[in-house]
Structure 1
Amino acid sequence: MILSHQHCHQLFSFGLKNLALYDSSPTVAKFIGSPPGYVGHEEGGQLTKKLKACPNAVVLFDEVDKAHPDVLTIMLQLFDEGRLTDGKGKTIECKDAIFIMTSNVASDDIAQHALQLRQEAQELSRRKMADNLDEVQKSDDVTISKQFKDVVIRPILKAHFRRDEFLGRINEIVYFLPFCPSELQQLVSKELNFWAKKAKQRHEITLLWDRPVLDLLAGGYNLHYGARSIKHEVERRVVNQLAAAYEQELLPKGCTLRLSVHSEDRGGGQEGEGLGQGTPSLRLEVVGKDSKARMLDIRPPLSPGH
């Protein structure tokens, strides 16, 4: 949520979850400083001190939905008048600052709506391709309509914050949609490249993979955990295997490792038979000088929790 647009020099971040106290006095004191006669009066507030030092900063209020109502009251003056009065009675001008707030309010509704839009766009693209029509729409390119924002999202925000004047001071609301397939592949590639670089630097090991590996790991995406779920999936299915293979002394120094996807046929058939019926699994193979791959026989950990 962006409230002004000027050049800035510095970024400040405030986790408002920590300020969501039952007693409003300590909450406000952390923000603008304690009034005269109270402990910490000379120290000043977390926000006012930083804005005084840098009035054209970018200020991030993280998880604003968890802030105490009295903090929102302070924000009303801040956003409306572009200034803030601290606990010492001094006025801090910050009209050139940019204030951004993050919130997970209505995130599930937004995510489900975006997924539905992508499914509809994908189906429309299939029909156009079948009919040889032009202007095939990419299923990744979806936009939330103004009607959905007004009819669905706005009432949820009003019910949570209970202040129309607070929402009215927000210049723009930016909606973050779930990652699309191409973005998930980029995230997986980024994580794999990160660990491949470490393997090369620390053990002179070259790590290779192909497109099916990206698709398989992207399947671990969880809407609620976002990019973290991809990070955890790569660590669970790739990094843990690498660590186990190294501990079991299965990795020759300077070797080349290849990640590959194999389909395990539950019916007992050979690999590759019954396409689509097997369960895909990730395998780690050593590529020899003759370009032949040998699958590593990695023993499972003693504890299922590792």
Structure 2
Amino acid sequence: MNTLLQHNTRKLPGRPEEPDTERMAKVLESFTRGWAGERPGPGQDNPRYEDYQQPLHAALIVDYASRIPTQVNQLSDEERTFFLRCLKIAEEARPFVRPKSGRALFNPVIWLADGERDLPAWLVTSGVRVRSIGVPAPDLGQRRRMAGLLAEQAGVPETVTGLDVGPLVCRDVREDPTGEEVERFARAATGLTLRAMRESMRLARASKITFDRMEQAVRIYELGVSRNPWTGGAVADSIRDGEAAIGERVLGQEKAVTQTLDVLKRAALGLSGAQASAASVHRPRGVLFFAGPTGTGKTELAKAVATTLFGSEDACLRFDMSEFSAPHSADRLVGAPPGYVGYEAGGELTRAVREDPFRVVLFDEIEKADRGVLDKFLQVLEDGRLTDGQGVTTYFSECVLIFTSNLGVHGPSGPDGRPVAPPAGSDRPSALPRDGRLPETPEERAAFEQEILGNVRHHFEHTLQRPELLNRLGGNVVVFQYIGEATAQLIFKGQLRNIVAHMERQGGLRLRVLPEAEKVLADACTENLRNGGRGIGMKLETHLINPLARGVFDLGTLDEGTTVTVSKVTVHEDGGVELELYASADGAVPLRKGSAP
């Protein structure tokens, strides 16, 4: 066959070299005719001359067909002519009768492409002579057979170009791989090709991984990284060391912190989803759904989890779902299909997780996401992987996924996020007490939690009509409570310390707030706790930061190390705030005085 191809594609003497596509089209045309009358052979006086004039029955495989067009949606003139000629060849092809069987068969041309969109749509879908056949990924039975064949080769030396390069995979030569090990390997290879399974075996040999740990080799092959913070006890130690720090960082949410730590401990021990079948090996390490009022520490807890698990807040990858509310927003996450804007860039989510698989992925305000985005989440929660528009698969098996939502605080919500009528049989449109107070007593807080859970369930089951998504979350819905007065005071003091530290770090000035002024600020900032810690921060900005900036600016240029003292804060009935402050070198004797309305 190679000789025939070379005969038909070689450059003829005395003629300029033709474009590659032109020569390839001629090869395809000759092939579909079976090279009738074209094959080099004996002369006419040879008895076998007639045999060489008969069509040759064969099949031609065009590999890497996806790489033929530069851009399938913007074909060059040469590419368009080539594919049109291929379509014409297919329509004009005729079957040949095999002498022995009498069957009329075509000489098929098989194009191997990554996807049918990699070739022009009018070529793949037009005409009765062209068919698109999808090749599915190996099923569990095929993977079992492949794993069994590879298990037989465990410990058997492999030869490359005649050289003995050692066993295909390291193992204890006293023991043969067991059926259980073969089964684990087959299930871990879900979504992989048979060739990828063999490459995983080669990777295991290079990494000195024994056959009973082939799941580890598959993980390295899929993720492209050998390090794994989840193994060796490093993450477990971080959770033990960081447990107290998380409680100090997220105030007033003891039960939510405990529930979150339980999920992290399961993840560190590899027990997430342990009750499910072995097919769940690719599912995320942990999944959490934070529900509750705004400003209660949901985002802060997600950042604290990232710091505890992976050592930095940068490991928290945050997506604001309000930016993904439009139709087709899912393309931003996983990448646009071929021919659409953003295809070359890929998906924001899939690209980031491939760059670093060990992340906390935070999806903020999930109720605002488009339904197409929810479909992607369902796939991640179930399969633990996503395939982007370029055909590249991203695995989430080492991630912790966290969803946050304000669902249920003010009763059931509609598709636009606005409150709707409560479920049948309920006379409470809100999770708050009847008089509108924030929950304070243990009984009120317990009732608030149950009402939130019920409203979240109503949203998934009735508003979205996606109960399967809620089922994937399981018992990992964590309810955050409104912060109490004592917690609000702690948050206020912590944010005030942040302002003092920031002013010294950025401006070189020391800030001091006298006790009387601090009490006025605290009362004003913690008067209404419906917006939680975020509301306290907003009040501090309007009641301290803004007037402080005006006052310091009016004092003129101050030397580094100067102490700025806020001696009095006045809150007027119209909401205006006035500060009295002075600057001093030693914090006692005023150098300059001023006020800021």
User: TM-score of the superposition, structure 1-length normalised?
Assistant: 0.67
Describe how 1:215-294 pairs up with structure 2 within 5 A: 215-221=522-528, 223-224=530-531, 226-249=532-555, 254=562, 257-260=565-568, 284=580
Per-residue deviation at 1:285? 5.5
Equivalent residue letter for 1:219:
T
Per-residue deviation at 1:79? 0.4
CA contact (8 A) 1:185 1:214 kept: no
Change (3 A) 1:86 1:176: same
CA displacement 1:184-222 (0-9 Å, x = unmatched): 222222332233345556464541332623531333545
Alpha-carbon separation, structure 2, partners of 1:41 and 1:56: 25
- Structure 2 stretches of 5 or more lacking a match? 1-259, 264-283, 288-305, 412-429
Per-residue deviation at 1:255? 5.3
Alpha-carbon separation, structure 2, partners of 1:145 and 1:222: 16
List structure 1 segments (4+ residues) > 6 angstroms apart after TM superposition. 250-253, 261-264
Counterpart secondary structure, 1:96 = coil
Alpha-carbon separation, structure 2, partners of 1:115 and 1:222: 10
Per-residue deviation at 1:168? 0.9
Alpha-carbon separation, structure 2, partners of 1:156 and 1:54: 33
Counterpart secondary structure, 2:451 = helix
Per-residue deviation at 1:18? 1.7
User: TM-score of the superposition, structure 2-length normalised?
Assistant: 0.37
1:64 corresponding residue in structure 2? 366
2:595 corresponding residue in structure 1? 298
Alpha-carbon separation, structure 1, partners of 2:594 and 2:392: 69
Per-residue deviation at 1:240? 3.4
Change (3 A) 1:262 1:153: same
Counterpart secondary structure, 1:246 = helix
1:148 corresponding residue in structure 2? 451
Per-residue deviation at 1:42? 3.3
RMSD, aligned α-carbons = 4.2
- Does 2:485 align with 1:181? yes
Change (3 A) 1:46 1:151: closer
State which drifts further: 56-65 or 208-217: 208-217
Alpha-carbon separation, structure 2, partners of 1:105 and 1:186: 26
Alpha-carbon separation, structure 1, partners of 2:356 and 2:509: 46
1:112 corresponding residue in structure 2? 432
Report % sequence identity.
23
- Structure 1 stretches of 5 or more lacking a match? 125-138, 267-278, 301-306
Change (3 A) 1:70 1:214: same
Change (3 A) 1:147 1:243: closer
Counterpart secondary structure, 1:13 = strand
Counterpart secondary structure, 2:363 = strand
CA displacement 1:241-274 (0-9 Å, x = unmatched): 333433444999745624456799x9xxxxxxxx
- Does 2:323 align with 1:18? yes
Per-residue deviation at 1:47? 1.7
State which drifts further: 97-106 or 194-203: 194-203
Alpha-carbon separation, structure 2, partners of 1:158 and 1:149: 14
CA contact (8 A) 2:410 2:431 kept: yes
CA contact (8 A) 1:65 1:161 kept: no
Change (3 A) 1:249 1:282: closer
CA displacement 1:30-84 (0-9 Å, x = unmatched): 2222233444433322222223333342211122111111111121111012122
Counterpart secondary structure, 1:47 = helix
CA contact (8 A) 2:521 2:540 kept: no
Alpha-carbon separation, structure 2, partners of 1:255 and 1:54: 45
Instruction: Pick the aligned partner of 1:80 from 373, 382, 394.
Output: 382
Alpha-carbon separation, structure 2, partners of 1:33 and 1:188: 43
Per-residue deviation at 1:101? 1.1
Equivalent residue letter for 1:5:
G
Counterpart secondary structure, 1:298 = strand
- Does 2:515 align with 1:213? no
Which protein has greater RCO, CA pairs closer than 8 Å, 6+ apart? 1
Q: Which has the larger radius of gyration?
A: 2
Change (3 A) 1:259 1:190: farther
CA displacement 1:9-29 (0-9 Å, x = unmatched): 53322222222213x3xx232
Change (3 A) 1:209 1:183: farther
Change (3 A) 1:240 1:87: closer
Change (3 A) 1:20 1:51: same
State which drifts further: 80-89 or 211-220: 211-220
Change (3 A) 1:60 1:241: closer
Aligned length: 264
